[in-house]
Amino acid sequence: MTVYQRLLNIQTQKGAGYLILIDPDKISPATLPAIIENGIQAGVDAFLVGGSLLLTPHFDAFIEQFKKYSKDRPVIIFPGGVHQVSRHADAILFLSLLSGRNPDHLIGTQVLAAPIIHQMKLEAISTAYLLIESGEVTSAEFMSGTRPLPRKKPEIAVAHALTAEYFGFKFIYLEGGSGAKHSVPEEIISAINHHVKVPLIVGGGIRTPEEALQKVAAGASFIVTGNVLEKSDNQHLAHDFAAAIHQKG
Ligand code: 1GP
């Protein structure tokens, strides 16, 4: 079964899925096994690995190491650039930054990466990536040189989501940005959910299980948390996030 199909099944069975994003720059090799195990025990459905600005030159080795501890949970690359590929991963979100007007991030980088992904036999899951304004300039916004969609104009976000659906993207990722001041507003999630059937991944600045639950109630199919679990004091929150997100238990 493909990773994509597994994710769809999770959505059907649990109501929504929980994805933990791991930034290789922020995790030491010594703490990695415990962080992964904590996520698995908490009930995470899959791990995303990557970031919009990644400094580690050891991405491939990091993924290889990751796979030793992730058991049956898919490890999916969430790439910030063409250098973030690894044959050790289970799949890659094949992103196009559809909210932007920078041709490099709409199609250029993808054309460079596609033959490598093909050679690695990596499952590519086409994902429309929509950056949503979140209060401050985020790394994704700065690094991509694109403007996010206005958070108070759901109709603009809906137009982009419809475009993603008509293009045939498998997922739409609504992104506030790593460590966003404000997460993606429920108004935008529900407006998009009302118009398109493509499953919605929502991430960026989600800090509490209650906030995650609100996103699910508004129509998110998958919730991503990253920063909040990077603090060792917050590890217990993974369980609460999973419980809030898995509405069907
Ligand atoms: C960032 O959506 C992810 O790309 C997760 O964001 O780190 O703010 O949870 P946080």
What is the distance in A from the centroid of ligand 1 to the CA of 226?
Answer: 5
Among 78, 207, 227, the mutation site with the greatest number of ligand 1 atoms within 8 A of its Cβ is 227
Comparison of pLDDT for 51 and 144, the residue scoring more: 144
Name the closest-CA residue to atom 4, ligand 1.
178
User: Please, which pLDDT band fits residue 249 given cuts at 50, 70 and 90?
Assistant: low
pLDDT 10s digits, 200-237: 999 999 999 999 999 999 999 999 999 999 888 899 99
Amino acid at the residue 195: H
Among 99, 225, 228, 241, the mutation site with the greatest number of ligand 1 atoms within 8 A of its Cβ is 225
CB 93 within 8 A of CB 77: yes
Among 211, 224, 231, the mutation site with the greatest number of ligand 1 atoms within 8 A of its Cβ is 224
CB 128 within 8 A of CB 114: no
Is the predicted pLDDT of residue 248 greater than 90, yes or no? Answer: no
What is the distance in A from the centroid of ligand 1 to the CA of 50?
Answer: 10
Mean pLDDT, to the nearest integer, of 148-163? 98
Two structure tokens written together for 201:
């991944």
Mean pLDDT of the chain, nearest integer: 95
What is the distance in A from the centroid of ligand 1 to the CA of 122?
Answer: 23
Amino acid at the residue 219: G
d(CA 179, CA 136): 10
Report the pLDDT value the prediction gives residue 82, as an integer from 0 to 100: 86
pLDDT 10s digits, 84-113: 999 999 999 999 999 999 999 999 999 999
Report the pLDDT value the prediction gives residue 81, as an integer from 0 to 100: 84
Is the predicted pLDDT of residue 76 greater than 70, yes or no? Answer: yes
Phi, psi (deg, nearest 5) at residue 29: -55, -30
Mean pLDDT, to the nearest integer, of 127-135? 98
Q: What residues does ligand 1 touch, defined as CB less than 6 Å away?
A: 21, 175, 178-180, 203-206, 224-228
Return the DSSP state at 211: H
Which ligand 1 atom lies nearest to the CA of residue 23?
7
Report the pLDDT value the prediction gives residue 51, as an integer from 0 to 100: 80
Among 44, 48, 130, 178, the mutation site with the greatest number of ligand 1 atoms within 8 A of its Cβ is 178
Which ligand 1 atom lies nearest to the CA of residue 202?
2
What is the distance in A from the centroid of ligand 1 to the CA of 227?
Answer: 6
CA-nearest of 61, 49, 43, 56 to 23 is: 49
Q: Which percentage of the chain shows pLDDT scores above 90? A: 90
User: Please, which pLDDT band fits residue 54 given cuts at 50, 70 and 90?
Assistant: low
d(CA 9, CA 74): 13
d(CA 85, CA 115): 11
- Cα atoms in the 13 Å half-sphere on the side-chain side of 89: 27
What is the distance in A from the centroid of ligand 1 to the CA of 123?
Answer: 22
Query: Does pTM surpass 0.85?
Result: yes
Report the pLDDT value the prediction gives residue 247, as an integer from 0 to 100: 87
CB 104 within 8 A of CB 148: no
42: three-class secondary structure by DSSP: helix
